[in-house]
Amino acid sequence: MSESSESKRQIRLGAFLMETGHHIAAWRHPDAHAGGGLDFQHYAQLAQIAERAKFDAIFFADSVSVRDTNLPSLARTARADHFEPLTLLSALSVVTQNIGLIATVSTTFNEPYNLARKFASLDHLSGGRSGWNLVTSSTESEALNFSFDRHPDHSERYERAKEFYDVVAGLWDSWEDDAFLRDKESGVYFDQDKLHVLNHRGKHFKVRGPLNVARSPQGWPVVVQAGASEAGKELAAQTAEVIFVAHQTLEEAQTFYRDIKSRLARYGRQPEHLKIMPGIFPVIGKTQQEARDKFDALQELIHPTVGLSLLTNMSGGIDLSKYPLDGPFPELPETNGGKSRQRLLLDLARRENLTIRDLYLRIAGARGHQQVIGTPQSIADQLQQWFEEEGADGFNIMSPWLPGGLSEFAELVVPELQRRGLFRTEYEGRTLRENLGLPRPVNRHVLAEREQAAVAVR
């Protein structure tokens, strides 16, 4: 199923949910539910707010560690305890009907059979609403929880990730869509000819298959990625259907957009089959001043220890404690962490001549994503511009605090986008793919048979 040519291109919206909100001090907000990170009802409420507003999906990041390098800082944030995303999204599938459910899971610390199975299972549970955000993980603290002595190199992680993806996609094609007959009379439960063994033998994995879950409603759960390095972009061009990305300026966003879309042809893919969704951190007020005041109130809740530690994490582990807080942001030695985020930080500091303190205050909310502080109209203006000028196909909304920030976006910005004809008023379909306008993958074995048949006819 693809978008019909006459239908107008529409903005896609994801709700990127995170404990009590994306602002590092969100949990201290007077209206925030400070214990929300482990309260199912909190997330059920958030998912339902997003679904009522017709968001395409809710989205969860993930990390398989507590980043406790700076314990005094960590102890002042709500980032150390939260649900595991796949268990949480499975539960949320029961209290929602249409919204997509996207979980981040790392290829570095999992086995492809387990991962393929869990996402297929969630896809069946939810009637075709699951999505996998493929990440390779970027922190040493995670590696140390998985019997590594050090974090694997960037290139090594991406090599594994590509093979991991191939295995997962292969397993999702284990069964043809119509393999299960379940014919009580004849006693035949499935058609043997529609079961396919994978027999993958690669550098990183040997996986025989088949998967013990029927092909799922979406065929394959939607594949999401977030890497912005060269290896990340190339993998995304080959495999991703949604890219979640961080940009500070429209120009940056446009460059990235053109770059990614131009890579698709070499993999035989259509530009509209990969949706690029930058993160947006919106602070909404009735007036510009009200929005600014709301933001300043949040910023005042940040302890300097927390701000500094945030920069260290963002830069992939660089220790900034030896530099003066009100001095310039130093040249970054290259580390093994997320390279794209290091580059992003440095560019921002240079462009605007920021001190270390300025920089941590700047990224405290949006973590390198675009911060938009304004009225519903001015925020809609900016989203419209980015969308129409090909900086984005949609946006991943990173609400500063929850649930308030998301409710405001749902009640004030979404109706404005709908009035402008830029965003749906009803879900188009039942599955995440249908709503995103992404094609349902034809099973590779069916495709091969069709091709053989075509050759035979010629």
Of 125, 228, 240, 280, the one binding a second copy (CB under 8 A) is 125
Q: Is the dihedral of CA 94, 98, 104, 107 positive or negative?
A: positive
Question: Which amino acid is located at 76 in the chain?
Answer: R
Which residues ranging from 150 to 179 are in contact with a second copy (CB under 8 A)? 174-175
Q: Which is nearer to a second copy, 114 or 155 (CB)?
A: 114
Q: CB of 181: closest distance to a second copy in angstroms?
A: 9
Q: Which is nearer to a second copy, 211 or 383 (CB)?
A: 211
Residues 6+ apart with CB under 8 A from 183: 189
- Give the residue from 246, 316, 302 showing the smallest Cα distance to 23: 302
Q: CB of 406: closest distance to a second copy in angstroms?
A: 20
The token pair at 84 is 């595991």
Task: Judge contact between 120 and 216, C-beta under 8 A.
Answer: yes
Q: Has 158 been labeled as part of a binding site?
A: yes
Which residues ranging from 73 to 92 are in contact with a second copy (CB under 8 A)? 75-78, 80-84, 86-88, 90-91
Stretch that binds a second copy, among 109-117, 223-231, 355-363, 402-410 (CB under 8 A): 109-117
Q: Has 62 been labeled as part of a binding site?
A: yes
Q: Is the dihedral of CA 449, 450, 451, 453 positive or negative?
A: positive
- Give the residue from 17, 22, 107, 96 showing the smallest Cα distance to 435: 96
Q: CB of 38: closest distance to a second copy in angstroms?
A: 5
CB atoms within 10 A of CB 71: 13
Task: Judge contact between 168 and 184, C-beta under 8 A.
Answer: no
Q: CB of 28: closest distance to a second copy in angstroms?
A: 5
Task: Judge contact between 437 and 272, C-beta under 8 A.
Answer: yes
Residue 327 lies near a second copy (rule: CB under 8 A): no
DSSP 195: B
Task: Judge contact between 25 and 302, C-beta under 8 A.
Answer: yes
Distances in whole angstroms, Cα of residue 290 to Cα of each of 284, 335, 373: 8, 40, 9
Q: CB of 441: closest distance to a second copy in angstroms?
A: 19
Stretch that binds a second copy, among 106-114, 220-228, 337-345, 355-363 (CB under 8 A): 106-114
Pairing of strands 200-201, 206-207: antiparallel
Q: Has 104 been labeled as part of a binding site?
A: yes
CB atoms within 10 A of CB 148: 13
Q: Has 154 been labeled as part of a binding site?
A: yes
Q: Which is nearer to a second copy, 76 or 233 (CB)?
A: 76
Q: CB of 303: closest distance to a second copy in angstroms?
A: 6
Q: CB of 175: closest distance to a second copy in angstroms?
A: 7
DSSP 110: S
Of 191, 234, 272, 411, the one binding a second copy (CB under 8 A) is 191
Residue 149 lies near a second copy (rule: CB under 8 A): yes
Residue 429 lies near a second copy (rule: CB under 8 A): no
Task: Judge contact between 398 and 366, C-beta under 8 A.
Answer: yes
* Angstrom distance (rounded) from CA 431 to CA 221: 10
- Give the residue from 340, 334, 281, 341 showing the smallest Cα distance to 310: 341
Task: Print the binding letters for residues 263-302 with a second copy: x by CB under 8 A, - otherwise.
Answer: --------------------------------------x-
Q: CB of 193: closest distance to a second copy in angstroms?
A: 10
Q: Which is nearer to a second copy, 70 or 248 (CB)?
A: 70
Task: Print the binding letters for residues 51-70 with a second copy: x by CB under 8 A, - otherwise.
Answer: ------------xxxx-x--
* Angstrom distance (rounded) from CA 143 to CA 149: 7
Residue 12 lies near a second copy (rule: CB under 8 A): no
Q: Has 189 been labeled as part of a binding site?
A: no
3-state secondary structure of 183: strand
* Angstrom distance (rounded) from CA 96 to CA 228: 31
Q: Which is nearer to a second copy, 24 or 366 (CB)?
A: 24
Tell me which H or E stretch contains 297. Answer: helix 288-299
Of 94, 265, 297, 447, the one binding a second copy (CB under 8 A) is 94
Residue 407 lies near a second copy (rule: CB under 8 A): no
Task: Print the binding letters for residues 25-54 with a second copy: x by CB under 8 A, - otherwise.
Answer: x-xx-x-x-xx--x-x--------------
Q: CB of 249: closest distance to a second copy in angstroms?
A: 33
Q: Which is nearer to a second copy, 82 or 269 (CB)?
A: 82
Residues annotated within a binding site for FMN: 62, 104, 154, 158, 229
